[in-house]
Structure 1
Amino acid sequence: MNNFMVAQRFEDEAEAGLDAIVDYVLTLRMRPTPVRLRLLAGAGSAARFVLVERKAAR
């Protein structure tokens, strides 16, 4: 998740805060798994949160 879709969003929106939902595919050491990420960060806060919601298989 150290890429433009996740880590860079935290950096770009650090001053304004962040509350965004991103569709993502986890692949590291596992078969590709579609998930939905909720990115949360308070304005001016050092704390950052990534919540992972696993999508149901279709």
Structure 2
Amino acid sequence: MRRVRRARLRHDAHHITVSMGVATASPADGGNPAWLVEKADQLLYLAKQNGRDRVVAD
């Protein structure tokens, strides 16, 4: 994220930002891949709602 900020990349008239939703799971927990993707997607939208250019992890 720092490198993107320092590069001051632009697309049209907007600065490019990076938002990430990070979810983790352990095979021992018996989680499934669909749940993991859904959780990461929820966290990504939370990062965007909180001001973009952020990382939200569980």
TM range (shorter): under 0.3
Q: Which structure is higher in helix share?
A: 2
Q: Which structure is higher in strand share?
A: 1
With the length of structure 1 as denominator, give the TM-score of the two structures.
Answer: 0.27
With the length of structure 2 as denominator, give the TM-score of the two structures.
Answer: 0.27
Higher relative contact order by CA 8 Å / sep ≥ 6: 1 or 2? 2
Rg: which structure is higher? 2
